[in-house]
């Protein structure tokens, strides 16, 4: 259960839009030796995160956008903290977009004081434990924030959901920073490029090459897609190491 040193990310769920049998929607656990930060809380990720940390060991939560496959565990987590583990006054830091906050309010109880919510946008910066966060608005139908997480010179950038009009480099070379590990969505089959605001694997690979990332992790694959085909498609554009996200896999920056 101990986190490896440096900065790591453990996959809690990586299915795009909905999860197939035994899968889970987007969720990631960012860890340093002393910080556990839950990034996106898609359906199924609440069960999976507890294989890695106890809920009361979480230092905070950050949600990329208001699409349901990225946050719908939050109302369930609220109840778990309030009525399950007896921490109604926890004040857990919760960073989310304005629309995510609105949608949460429509279906759940008051988030305070269990959560300490804070609305973020592309200009925000935040620090949870010893992880520094910054954001970039992606190319997606609702306000969606790609997330840069940094700790002691190690960096992970998560694309969240995006079309190809956003640039991964906007959270790397464009701001004078390198990217050690990029978690980039590869939702679409190559034939569906630019049909909706998501990426194909070859587009994800091109983005990673342009941003000069050290390692690329493909994620948000639709159920039924072939992970090896996605890796091959990405490799046409990106020469570095390529991984495909899988539940419980851990990657180090």
- Which of residues 31 and 70 has its CB atom nearest to Zn ion in the complex? 70
Asked if residue 83 lies in contact with residue 173, where contact means CB atoms within 8 angstroms, the answer is no
What are the residue ranges of helices labelled H in 95-219? 98-107, 201-211
55 to 84: interface string for Zn ion, x by CB under 5 A = ------------x-x---------------
Confirm or reject binding of residue 161 to Zn ion (CB under 5 A): yes
* Distance, CA of 148 to chain centre: 10
Least spacing, CB of residue 161 vs Zn ion, in Å: 3
Q: How far is the CB of 187 from Zn ion (least distance, A)?
A: 7
Q: 């190809």: which residue's tokens? A: 164
Closer by beta carbon to Zn ion, 69 or else 150 = 69
Query: Counting contacts by CB under 5 A, is residue 198 touching Zn ion?
Result: no
Nearer to Zn ion, 26 or 35 (CB): 26
Range 105-133 burial, b when 16+ CB lie within 10 A, else e: eeeeeebeebbebeebeeeeebebbebeb
How far apart CA 107 and CA 90 sit, in angstroms, is: 21
Stretch that binds Zn ion, among 146-154, 159-167, 209-217, 221-229 (CB under 5 A): 159-167
**85-124 positions binding Zn ion, by CB under 5 A:** none
Residues that bind Zn ion (CB under 5 A): 67, 69, 161
């Amino acid at each position: 259960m101990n986190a490896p040193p440096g900065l790591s990310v453990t996959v809690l769920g990586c299915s795009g839009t909905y999860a197939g049998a035994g899968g889970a929607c987007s969720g990631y656990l960012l860890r340093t030796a002393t910080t556990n930060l839950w990034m996106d809380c898609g359906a199924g990720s609440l069960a999976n995160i507890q294989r890695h940390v106890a809920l009361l060991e979480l230092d905070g939560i950050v949600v990329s956008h208001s699409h349901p496959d990225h946050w719908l565990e939050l109302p369930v987590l609220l109840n778990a903290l309030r009525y399950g583990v007896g921490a109604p006054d926890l004040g857990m830091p919760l960073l989310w977009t304005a629309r995510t906050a609105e949608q949460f309010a429509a279906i759940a109880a008051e988030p305070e004081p269990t959560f300490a919510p804070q609305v973020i946008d592309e200009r925000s910066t935040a620090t949870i434990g010893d992880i520094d966060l910054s954001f970039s608005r992606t190319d997606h139908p609702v306000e969606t924030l790609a997330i840069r997480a940094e700790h002691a010179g190690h960096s992970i950038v998560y694309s969240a959901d995006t079309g190809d009009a956003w640039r991964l480099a906007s959270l790397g070379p464009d701001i004078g920073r390198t990217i050690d590990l990029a978690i980039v969505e590869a939702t679409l089959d190559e034939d569906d490029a630019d049909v909706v605001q998501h990426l194909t694997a070859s587009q994800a690979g091109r983005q990673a090459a342009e941003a000069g990332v050290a390692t690329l992790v493909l994620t948000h694959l639709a159920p039924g897609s072939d992970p090896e085909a996605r890796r091959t498609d990405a490799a046409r554009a990106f020469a570095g190491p390529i991984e495909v996200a899988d539940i419980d896999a851990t990657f180090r920056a």
